[in-house]
């Protein structure tokens, strides 16, 4: 029987993290492995460990994983966190659910609540944060081969491929090139920033896997509309983070209820309550509902994020839940 990534994760959890005492995968010390015809590769976070402890872990991993059926070679790449910065990934199972709008406004709301926040547009093929953050004309500079984030008038520095491309330019990049571009943005000079909000592309593809394996998000926020089709895809996104042992902070329901600007009557073109019910079924927190409001749409298109103005309330509520999650002691 061929060994799977799940088998390797189970094996890794038989080895104790020297700091937490949990298994290496459960503690987040070992990233999800890659398996290719008998060759196993994984990334090990060795932050806070002595040289002897690192060598001991590498030896144990190679012995335990190497003993699995069909495994011929085991490669362990060691990384060490240089900063205490935490990453919150904002994802969705499908496009068109307002994920980027939620990411931008969450970053602004967190900043207004006193957090030192940066915003990363990881949607390499369809970047929208420059428009949302009124930063389309801003171009990043580099210092000693390291990108420097672009300041915005909302107090949230940001980086996006959209700031490095010509307007309307299509990127015909394969996965590795897109992954390298993401690495340059994540590893930019985020001096003074302790929290990065990362706007992921929709789906569960190369960028998501690169984000999880190389950059270790502290948690993930999933955005969906209330309709069943969107929720089916949102469930897949949640499953990806669960498999990778990235905590899911919660589910946000966007475009929930439309108030007619003329008569005030509320209708539900995408349904209502679907995301909240799905969160309950999946035993994850439901942390907010954002209405389908023309003021939010107009403000976003104009580079005037609602969280910076009169439509801030729903985003403030979500930001408060995220801060509550961040302040919880580690399990």
Read out DSSP for 192-228? T--EEEEEPPSSSSHHHHHHHHHH--SEEEEEE-SSH
The answer to which of 182-191, 246-255, 268-277 has the lowest mean pLDDT is 268-277
pLDDT beyond 90 at 174? no
Angle between helices 206-215 and 228-243 (to 10 degrees): 30
pLDDT at 271: 66
Cβ contacts of residue 264 below 8 Å, gap of 6+?
none
Q: What is the pLDDT of residues 50-64, one digit of tens each?
A: 778 888 999 999 999
Confidence band of 49 (pLDDT split at 50, 70, 90): confident
User: Mean pLDDT across the stretch 80-100?
Assistant: 81
- 228 with 198, same domain? yes
Residue 168: pLDDT above 70? Answer: no
Residue at token pair 């001991």: 56
Extract the tokens encoding 86. 């935490």
- Domain boundary residue among 34, 55, 79? 79
Task: Tell me what pLDDT residue 142 has.
Answer: 86
Rounded Cα distance, 33 and 41, in Å: 6
Mean pLDDT for 295-320 is 92
3-class state of residue 160 by DSSP:
strand
Mean pLDDT over residues 238-242, rounded?
A: 91
Contact 325, 219 (CB under 8 A): yes
Length of the chain, in residues: 331
The pLDDT of residue 80 is 64
Count of Cβ atoms closer than 10 Å to residue 183 Cβ: 14
pLDDT at 248 over 90: yes
User: What is the C-alpha to C-alpha distance for residues 3 and 40, in angstroms, rounded to an integer?
Assistant: 10
pLDDT attached to residue 10: 92
- Would 331 be classed as within a structural domain? no
Q: For residue 276, what is the domain's CATH number?
A: 3.40.50.300
Q: Are residues 60 and 129 in the same domain?
A: no
- Structure-block tokens of residue 149: 């984030």
pLDDT attached to residue 162: 82
- In a domain? residue 154: yes
Identify which of 78-82, 102-106, 290-294 has the greatest average pLDDT: 102-106
- The residue from 63, 79, 95 where one domain ends is 79
Q: Are residues 108 and 70 in the same domain?
A: no
- Give a yes or no: residue 222 inside a domain: yes
Residue 202 has pLDDT above 70, yes or no: yes
State yes or no: pLDDT of 136 exceeds 80.
Answer: yes
Whether residue 60 sits in one domain with residue 161? no
**pLDDT tens digits along 312-326:** 999 999 999 999 999
Q: Is 245 among the domain residues?
A: yes
Helix H or strand E encompassing 247: none
Does 150 score more than 90 pLDDT?
A: yes
Asked if residue 103 and residue 12 are part of one domain, the reply reads no
Q: What is the pLDDT of residue 81?
A: 56
3-state DSSP call for residue 317? helix
- pTM, full prediction: 0.72
Is the same domain home to 166 and 185? yes
Domain hosting residue 10, numbered range:
5-79
Confidence of residue 156 (pLDDT cuts 50, 70, 90): very high
Token pair listed for 223? 């955005």
What is the CATH classification number for the domain harbouring 10?
A: 3.30.300.130
Is the domain of 247 the same as that of 319? yes
Task: Please tell me what DSSP assigns to residue 154.
Answer: T
| 20 lies in the same domain as 162 | no
**pLDDT, position 260:** 72
Q: Are residues 112 and 221 in the same domain?
A: yes
Total domains in the chain come to 2
Same domain (yes/no): 215, 69: no
Among residues 28, 60, 79, which one ends one of the domains?
Answer: 79
Shared-domain flag, residues 267 and 183:
yes
Distance from CA of residue 266 to its chain's centroid?
32
* Whether residues 208 and 285 fall in one domain: yes
**Contact call for residues 57 and 30 (beta carbons, < 8 A):** no
């Amino acid at each position: 029987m061929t060994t799977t990534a799940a088998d390797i994760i189970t094996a890794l959890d038989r080895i104790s993290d020297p700091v937490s005492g949990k298994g290496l995968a459960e503690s987040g010390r070992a990233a999800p492995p890659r398996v290719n015809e008998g060759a196993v590769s994984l990334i090990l976070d060795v932050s806070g460990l002595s040289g002897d402890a690192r060598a001991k872990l590498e030896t144990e991993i190679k012995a335990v994983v190497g003993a699995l059926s069909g495994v011929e070679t085991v490669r362990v790449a060691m990384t060490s966190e240089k900063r205490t910065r935490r990453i919150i990934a904002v994802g969705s199972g499908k496009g068109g659910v307002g994920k980027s709008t939620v990411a931008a406004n969450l970053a602004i709301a967190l900043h207004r609540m006193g957090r030192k926040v940066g915003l990363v547009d990881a949607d390499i093929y369809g970047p929208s944060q420059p428009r949302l953050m009124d930063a389309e004309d801003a171009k990043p500079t580099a210092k000693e081969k390291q990108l420097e984030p672009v300041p915005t008038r909302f107090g949230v520095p940001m980086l996006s491929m959209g700031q490095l491309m010509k307007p309307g330019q299509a990127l015909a990049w394969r996965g590795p090139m897109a992954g390298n571009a993401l690495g340059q943005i994540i590893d930019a000079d985020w001096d003074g920033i302790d929290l990065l909000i990362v706007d992921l592309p929709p789906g569960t593809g190369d960028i998501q896997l690169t984000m999880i394996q190389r950059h270790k998000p502290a948690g993930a926020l999933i955005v969906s509309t209330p309709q069943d089709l969107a929720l089916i895809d949102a469930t897949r996104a949640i499953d990806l983070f669960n498999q990778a042992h990235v905590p899911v902070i919660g589910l946000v329901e966007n475009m929930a209820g439309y108030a007619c600007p003329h008569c005030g009557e509320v209708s539900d073109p995408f349904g209502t309550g679907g995301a909240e019910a799905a969160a309950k079924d999946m035993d994850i927190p439901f942390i907010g509902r954002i209405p389908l409001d023309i003021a939010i749409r107009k403000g976003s298109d104009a580079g005037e994020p609602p969280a910076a103005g009169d439509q801030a309330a729903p985003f403030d509520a979500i930001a408060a839940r995220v801060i509550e999650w961040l302040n919880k002691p580690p399990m």
